[in-house]
């Protein structure tokens, strides 16, 4: 997938998940600046879109790496895969899937803020 195609897909997923979770765009924008205090279920929506939350509520980090390797341009896939691997154990809340998903996204952001790749 080219970077242009990837950005179009990210926009589609973002629009779909903001509509489903009724999260304001400014809340999502705040996540791109490291503020994950709101909109945790938006992150769960993204994770579910890419089938990264298992039935038991755990994070399918191997699936995350496979997804970025299959769909992102190589220069993005490399940093994204590294962040996913670094954050594979960051989900502490498996009973609250929204909060657990946000824990993963926050770890990925903190691992490499300039290359945060969630929509």
User: What averages of pLDDT result for each successive group of 10 residues across the chain (119 residues)?
Assistant: 79 93 95 93 94 90 93 88 96 90 96 90
Write the CATH number of the domain with boundaries 3-112: 1.10.238.20
Angstrom distance (rounded) from CA 97 to CA 15? 20
Q: What is the pLDDT of residue 93?
A: 85
Q: What is the pLDDT of residue 24?
A: 95
- Residues 118, 43 contacting (CB under 8 angstroms): yes
Structure tokens given for 22: 């009724």
Rg (CA), the chain: 13
Q: What is the pLDDT of residue 18?
A: 95
The residue extents of the domains of the chain are 3-112
pTM (2 decimals)? 0.89
Query: Comparing C-alpha atoms, which of 112, 118, 50, 55 is closest to residue 87?
Result: 112
């Amino acid at each position: 997938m080219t970077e242009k195609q990837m950005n179009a897909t990210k926009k589609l997923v973002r629009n779909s998940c903001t509509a489903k979770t009724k999260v304001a765009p400014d809340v999502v924008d705040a996540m791109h600046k490291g503020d994950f205090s709101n909109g945790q279920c938006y992150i769960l929506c993204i994770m579910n879109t890419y089938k990264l939350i298992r039935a038991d509520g755990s994070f399918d980090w191997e699936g995350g790496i496979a997804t970025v390797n299959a769909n992102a341009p190589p220069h993005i896939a490399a940093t994204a895969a590294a962040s996913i691997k670094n954050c594979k154990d960051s989900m502490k809340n498996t009973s609250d899937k929204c909060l657990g998903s946000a824990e993963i996204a926050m770890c990925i952001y903190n691992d490499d803020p300039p290359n945060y790749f969630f929509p």
